[in-house]
Amino acid sequence: MRQVVEYLAKSVVDDAEAVRVDERRGKGGVVYYVEVPPQEKGRLIGRRGRVIESIRTVVRAFARGRVTVEVK
């Protein structure tokens, strides 16, 4: 699943090498933290959060479970 999050994040930003994905497990499920440089955060989030919401939707559908994607 981490590879899917990483692939989607890298496909959105200009500097794909700077993308880092950390996975943490908690009571509510798995949380993936995507870390990008400050100048790339706007591109990853998108206008009104549309890009990150799309990434979250795809990841939830792929995982069939309680998975969240957050931007650091």
Pairwise pLDDT comparison (65 vs 52), residue with the higher score: 52
Query: Which residues sit opposite 30 in a β-bridge?
Result: 25, 67
Residue 34's nearest CA partner among 58, 3, 60 is 3
Asked if residue 52 lies in contact with residue 71, where contact means CB atoms within 8 angstroms, the answer is yes
Express as a percent the part of the chain with pLDDT over 70.
Answer: 100
Range of the domain at 56: 2-71
Number of domains in the chain: 1
What pTM, to 2 d.p., does this model score?
Answer: 0.89
* Average pLDDT estimate for 59-67: 88
- Element housing 9 (H / E): helix 2-12
Q: Measured between alpha carbons, how far is 13 from 41 in angstroms, rounded to an integer? A: 8
Give every CB contact of residue 37 below 8 A, 6+ residues apart in sequence: 15, 18
Q: For position 12, which CATH number holds?
A: 3.30.300.20
State the pLDDT at residue 65: 79
pLDDT at 39: 93
pLDDT in tens, 30-55: 999 999 999 999 999 999 999 999 99
